[in-house]
Structure 1
Amino acid sequence: MKLLPMLLLLLPTAASAVDFCPNSMPTKNWGIQYQLSGAHQGTLLLLRQQAQTAFYNPQNQVAEWWRFDNPQHPQFSRVFGEAKRRIDYYMGDLRTLGVQVSQAEIESFAANHLRQALTKVPQSDCAEAEAYEGDYHQVHYRMLWSTALQLPLTLETTVQGKVSRWQAQQFVNSADVTGHFQQWQAYKRTDFADVGDNEQDPFLAKMINQGFVEHSEHAAYDSRGNPLGNHSH
């Protein structure tokens, strides 16, 4: 399965998880704000609404939007807020492009699978969390996992002596989460299968030229144009 999409493509270095240690999952639409530092600076939002999960970069208004109303036939969209456009992918597109999708992995930042590959260790930072550490695919990981949210609060990686970390900071309120999904739903949409027939469209031509959209083994790209799921297991 292809895992660890934006997670490992936008890694940071930052503070402790002590200040954000939730003891329950919000009951309505909700999100988590992650602060990124180190090689990549900025903010990343994880947004959840029923069967929908999105990763949103507010700096460039690019989102990865997954819908699992039918878990066996997920839908995916690349969202471009500045242009008010989105490109939709369906199960046939994902299958043709060789992308394997797990709802549990998308909803956990692909860290659920990673957690199972690490060793549980003692920690005192957060009573509602579990700590994990270990080596996986030549990377050393340290993770603080929220048992309430089923998400990482921190994830630290060490590669050839270089340490990076990303940090959960706070919840995103329900109204903001709802607003994002409503906006994206209203954007002008193009089916991925039709992109090749619409290269005269300036927006699509730009996306193709920048590598955000191409007919390759990858159906989706992160906010920097790197293919989602470049970690194969």
Structure 2
Amino acid sequence: MKKIILLFLCFGALAHAAPQADCDQNHLIAHYRIDQHQANQTKTLDQTLVRQDNQLIQLFSGQQYGDMWLKLPNDKLMLTRFFPAEQRAIEYQAEDIKGNLLGSDFWQKKWQLLSPQLLDKMPVSKQTGNGCQLVEHRQWQFQDTSYNLRWLPNQQLIERFEVSDNGQLIESWQLTNIETGSEKVKIFIAPISNYQSTDFADIGDNEADPFFAKMITQGFTQQLIKHTELEQHRH
């Protein structure tokens, strides 16, 4: 079941709906609450998605780092993994990112957090609202698993997403707040851009640095490699 839930996070691509002119999908900050229900317990996380043209950020609560992705003119990707508590960052060059082998789909899964394969399988049952508030209500049933989605096509955002197994809700995503405008995004990104940054290839030459020494001791450098390949957030 975990693999099914991760499907929509791990293989995303661009939705087909054309955005309206007044919906600035390229400059926004979207905040989500994620509730996971298991064994009569609920685990709640927060995720922030930030878009700025060819750059985007994903940041989870309870996770010591965030990811800033940059799409280059040749469609290759660069990654800056940043650590807010230490105000440090690690840069991965395009040749270090295994995701570049996956083409544009790898970028788009970051952009909208939803697989186009899954979106295509979920027919629109009705539409409500208009403009930037246009909502598509979609559903799909796969064996005992049901998916319910409220999709904002003009902003390419999930408004609400629910996954249920045998009628029991097991995971939900809820858009709690959205801010638009290039200035707000610049203010959000500015502190991260000032973090002390080191190229991933140079970590081995900086083992005396307490920050890197701690990560090497904890085996976190291997986790960094693993996440660049899979980009699966295990909650």
TM-score by length of 1: 0.72
Q: CA RMSD in A?
A: 3.7
Q: Percent identity?
A: 22
| One of 9, 28, 36 as aligned partner of 1:30 | 28
Equivalent residue for 1:100?
Answer: 102
Equivalent residue for 2:170?
Answer: 163
**Structure 1 residues 209 and 180: CA distance shift in structure 2, 3 A:** farther
Equivalent residue for 1:153?
Answer: 159
Q: Please tell me whether residue 181 in structure 1 is matched to residue 176 in structure 2.
A: no
Partners of 1:88 and 1:5 lie apart in 2 by 26
**Structure 1 residues 187 and 145: CA distance shift in structure 2, 3 A:** same
> Where does structure 1 lack aligned partners over 5 or more consecutive residues?
10-21, 222-226
Q: 8 Å contact 1:94–1:219 — kept in the other structure?
A: no
Equivalent residue for 1:112?
Answer: 116
Q: 8 Å contact 1:99–1:218 — kept in the other structure?
A: no
Partners of 1:130 and 1:188 lie apart in 2 by 42
CA shift for structure 1 position 75: 0.7
**Structure 1 residues 217 and 69: CA distance shift in structure 2, 3 A:** closer
Q: 8 Å contact 2:81–2:91 — kept in the other structure?
A: yes
Normalized per residue, which structure has more helix?
2
Equivalent residue for 2:54?
Answer: 51
Q: Please tell me whether residue 195 in structure 1 is matched to residue 203 in structure 2.
A: yes
Q: Which protein has the larger Cα radius of gyration, Structure 1 or Structure 2?
A: 2
**Structure 1 residues 169 and 215: CA distance shift in structure 2, 3 A:** closer
Partners of 1:67 and 1:162 lie apart in 2 by 35
Partners of 2:62 and 2:31 lie apart in 1 by 13
Per-residue Cα deviation, 1:181-226 (whole angstroms, up to 9, x for no partner): 22111111111122233233221233344454317862439xxxxx
**Structure 1 residues 165 and 23: CA distance shift in structure 2, 3 A:** farther
TM-score by length of 2: 0.71
Name which of structure 1's ranges 118-127 and 196-205 shifts more when overlaid on structure 2. 118-127
- 3-state SS of the aligned residue for 2:185? helix
Count residues with an aligned counterpart. 210
> Where does structure 2 lack aligned partners over 5 or more consecutive residues?
11-19, 37-41
Name which of structure 1's ranges 152-161 and 63-72 shifts more when overlaid on structure 2. 152-161
**Structure 1 residues 156 and 105: CA distance shift in structure 2, 3 A:** same
Partners of 1:89 and 1:29 lie apart in 2 by 24
